[in-house]
Amino acid sequence: MLKSLCKVFAPSGMEEQMREYIKECIKDVFDEIQADNLGNLVARKNGSQRSLCIECGMDSCGIMVTSKMEDKAYFSGIGGVSAAYLNGKKVFFKDGNFGIIRYEGKNAADAKVTDLYIQTDTKGISIGDFGVVADEYCENSKSFFANGVASKIALAAVLQAVKTADTNKGYTVLFSAQRRFAAKGIQTFFTNEEFDRVITVDGISCEAGIKCGYGCAIIAVDSRGVSDKGFREETENISNDRKIKFQTAVTHENMCIEAVSTSGSGANCVALGIPVAHKGKNYESVLKSDFNETVKLIKTVIEEF
């Protein structure tokens, strides 16, 4: 499933192909699947009960063409991509056209995104077109590897969990749009929706105390917010009871706890992070053992809460 997800064209603001992919994937699981005006995909089981919501982003970081001349196209980054990461990458556009990102300065480490350009046939692209970095997906017996896997790994885990969960309880899954772009989909959805508990899931860097091989990271504090202490402890306790490997962690990354917990009238929110090695670099990687433990935890939350 992850290999297929990595190949779906879904930069922030252009998630149409991913919405259709997800709809087909979960059509036999949920009673109601709808898209809202911003592009969020909302799936509900057993009607519109408001007990539990699982959130994960369905968009990817990308680029948008801002100007072009001859065989060069200049662009801006979407979703926090860096010049160091983009330099030398192949980028694809929705119609299949592609180009190579170049930097002509002496020291690429000092470059800004605006210093880069795409070497491409500019007749095939227009100002305002979105592009994504080629995933170059591969795997071995222990790990998944791909460019940008951090933005797809949570989606893969949530999809696998909902397809295998055994429950008659009602719950909702928000596949949010524009998560990498100021969490716009999250804020739009939770402004008008209320839940007792919300789990938000994303890839997270293996650094600052978060270790690959130690299972899912249950986030106590991120750069913008604090997970609900009672809900976090319930999640930790059920993980211990089910012998699910996890690590409680603090991160300097934004896991969207604030965006969820402060929208509308507020929600009890806990963030789960899937450890990603070399995040933001060539061939990000995720251990299959960490991925599997996260799937088990999400599945258990759905069945028990």
| Cβ neighbours around 161 below 10 Å, total | 22
Structure tokens at 6: 């990595």
Q: How far apart are CA 9 and CA 277, in angstroms?
A: 23
Reference 176, options 144, 204, 151; nearest CA is: 151
In the chain, pLDDT over 70 holds for what percent of residues? 99
Provide the pLDDT for residue 29: 94
Contact 150, 279 (CB under 8 A): yes
DSSP state of 60: B
> In angstroms, rounded to a whole number, what is the distance separating the alpha carbons of residues 13 and 41?
13
Res 47: pLDDT = 57
| CATH code of the domain made up of 62-133 | 2.40.30.40
User: Which range in 46-55, 120-129, 155-164 is most confidently predicted, on average pLDDT?
Assistant: 155-164
Please state whether the predicted TM-score (pTM) of the whole model is above 0.85. yes
Q: Which DSSP helix (H) or strand (E) runs through 273? A: strand 268-276
For 55, 57, 179, 287, the CA distances from 183, given in Å and listed in that order, are 11, 9, 4, 26
pLDDT averaged over the chain? 93
Name the CATH superfamily housing domain 2-59+148-304. Answer: Zn peptidases (3.40.630.10)
Q: Find, among 301, 124, 282, 291, the residue nearest to 217 by Cα.
A: 291
The pLDDT confidence band at residue 223, using thresholds 50, 70 and 90, is very high
Of the pLDDT bands very low, low, confident and very high (cuts 50, 70, 90), residue 186 is very high
Count of positions (residues) in the chain: 305
Q: Are 299 and 165 in contact (CB under 8 A)?
A: yes
Query: Vertex 253, ends 252 and 256: CA angle to 5°?
Result: 125
* pLDDT of 304 over the 60 cut: yes
Instruction: Enumerate residues 6+ apart whose C-beta is below 8 A from 221.
Output: 227, 250, 251
Same CATH topology for 2-59+148-304 and 62-133? no
In the predicted structure, residue 48 carries a pLDDT above the cut 60: no
Strands 171-176 and 143-146: unpaired
Mind listing the pLDDT tens digit for each residue in 90-146?
999 988 899 999 998 888 778 899 999 999 999 989 999 999 999 999 999 999 999
Mean pLDDT of 56-79: 93
Pick from 100, 120, 80: nearest CA to 254: 80
Q: Where are the domains of the chain?
A: 2-59+148-304, 62-133
Predicted pLDDT of residue 263: 75
Give, as one character, the DSSP assignment of residue 7. T
For residue 142, count CB atoms less than 10 angstroms from its CB and return exposed for 0-12, middle for 13-18, buried for 19 or more.
exposed
